[in-house]
Amino acid sequence: MKNVVINKFKKDCVENNRDMEFNNTFNDQSTELNVARQKLEQIQAVILKDIQKQVTDFGDEVMQELRKQKLQNQEFPNFAQPQQQKTNTLAYRQMKTNKTARTTVKQNITMTGDHKNKEQHMQETIKNDNKTVRDLSDKVFTIRESYLTTLLEVDHMKTIYHIFYAIFTVFLLNTIIHDYLVKGSVKFGLDTFYFSFAKIHYVLIVWLLQHVFVFGIYYACQLWASLRRKLQHRSFNANFWSFICLTLYVLSQFAFLITACSLNLKLNLPFASGIVLQLETIRLVMKMHAFVRCNVPRVLCGKMKTDDELTYPSLDLPPFGCYLYFLFAPTLVYRDYYPRSSRIRWKFALARFMEVVAIAFLYSYIYERYIIPNFSDFGKEPLNISFITVKLFASLMPFKIMLLTAFYMVLHAWPNFTAELLRFGDRMFYKDWWTASNYDTYYRKWNVIVHDWLYEYIYKDFYIYIFNRSKLFSALVVFWISALFHDIPLCFSLQLFFPAMCIFFGLLGVLLKFITRLAPKNFGNFILWFSLIVGNGMLVALYCIEYYARTNCPKLIENWWDHLIPHFWYCYNNNNNNNNNNN
């Protein structure tokens, strides 16, 4: 009996050991399977992510190529295609005449049966057209590349791009050879950089403090909206509260501008540092006004409506992130959301940034080789009309190069750089202004960023609320405001009162806008380019003359109108008086 129990116990132990071994083996296999499954899931996730990225990149490349092809076809419809020769034979003309006659007969037969329907349809069309004319269009954002980004894909256009690189290289070699042979050392234009961007750290501090004020506008709007919501059942109190906030907003905007201008003078900022501060101040003012002007009507209407036609349950403003993105996006027209690209092209962004740096060096070379030799002695040497005229026309071409590169830097390279970093999709910062045949078209296409802001927030408001739908007076107000804010940065950066920009832009520009409408297309394009070369060259030259005349020929300030008299005119009169006394 004892042996039986022992044998049974041994069998149980053996079976238990087998079960344990089986369980351990099963557990090991399960662990291995789990590990293998996890690895496969990780590999699957990586593969799917890579495939998704490749498909997205491929789709973006296809869409980009299609957009480029579409733009190239629009700009060059018959490019690289032989022009068909016109057939002037008698048989051809007879065939064309017969075809036209048959088509006219068919149209007459058709119109006889539906005459009443045609008239009714035409009347409805005229009514709809008149209604459409009365309605002002809104800015629509879509994913698209800049004109030059697309056009430079064409080899023939890329050659022009390489020509500007060659011009930059020539200026660089000219500066190097001159510095080495004349001065004995090569500075690469860095002295001009050190002088022009001195005290830039003050500008950075002011810029950061300005953003504290800019961020405060958002929370001030939230405060206004929340209190107005509480007072919505008391219309008088709500309107009075809105009037107080409107007054404070207008005064704060003027204070914002005046503070930047006064700091420019008190800190005695050099030109480049001053122009950066002034342009950034104006940009922030335009950004703040766009945000306020776009969101205040939403609150007044009692609802918040986004681009996706969503209605918020409360009267709160859009999230702060939308406002923050708008502050740095390369647009001045506010939207809650903008079309975004799928990825950042770092090589493209770096290329645009390097172009900005190269153009800055180009300006330094032009300043050292053309502006200083031609204009630095104004006020020291005898002045006469012939002498000034020779100096003006000798500088037209270098200044024209400055204009073209300024367009490329301000409206193409820098906006595309910031747009790429922020994945901002709409890159239509300008249009094909170089093909314009009149100034009316040129002003609309030259600077789309500023033009859209002026149209959305100045022209529309004056057209609807002030001038009773008068296009002429609304356009004139837009011109004069634009001319004023073109002149303010130059006057305060150079620290002189010389409103040449207002005169050229606000008066001559308005006259040319109406005069060039009558010119034929090709001749009008010639007149446009000739006037741009001469006008902008003279404008830059006049500012250079006034700046150096103020330095070399200071005048006594006895009355307030002495501030309004140009220094170069004072120097010219003094020179004539001295010559008369000597005689």
201 C-beta neighbours (distance < 10 Å), count: 10
Backbone angles phi, psi at 340, to 5 degrees: -120, 145
Q: CA-CA distances (angstroms) from residue 561 to 487, 497, 507, 549?
A: 19, 11, 22, 18
Please name the residue that has the structure tokens 């076809």. 73
Q: Establish how many alpha carbons lie within 13 A of residue 303's alpha carbon, considering only the half-sphere containing its beta carbon.
A: 7
Q: What's the CA gap between 70 and 65, in Å, rounded?
A: 8
Helix 414-422 and helix 320-328, axial crossing angle in degrees, nearest 10: 150
Spatial distance between the Cα atoms of 92 and 86, rounded to a whole number of angstroms: 10
Structure tokens at 555: 């005048």
Asked whether the CA dihedral 399, 400, 403, 408 is positive or negative, the reply is negative
Q: Which DSSP category does 463 fall into?
A: I
**Structure tokens given for 212:** 């504290």
Contact 287, 215 (CB under 8 A): no
Is residue 486 part of the annotated active site? The answer reads: yes
Contact 327, 287 (CB under 8 A): yes
115, 121, 156, 486: the active-site residue: 486
The burial class, CB within 10 Å (0-12 / 13-18 / 19+), for 143 is middle
Q: Is 459 helix (H, G, I), strand (E, B) or coil?
A: helix
DSSP string, 88-151: --HHHHHHHHHHHHHHHHHHHHHHHHTHHHHHHHHHHHHHHHHHHHHSPP------B--HHHHH
CB 361, CB 188: distance < 8 Å: yes
Q: Which of 213, 216, 223 is nearest to 257 (CA)?
A: 213
Residue 267 gets which letter from DSSP?
T
> How many whole angstroms separate alpha carbon 308 and alpha carbon 194?
49
The Cα-based distances of 154 to 161, 352, 492 in angstroms read 11, 18, 42
Is the Cα torsion angle 199, 201, 207, 213 positive or negative in sign? Answer: negative
Distance CA 246, CA 250 (A): 6
The neighbouring-strand residues paired with 378 are 381
Tokens of 226: 């929340």
Q: Where does residue 348 rank: exposed (0-12), middle (13-18), buried (19+ CB within 10 A)?
A: middle
Catalytic residues, which ones? 486
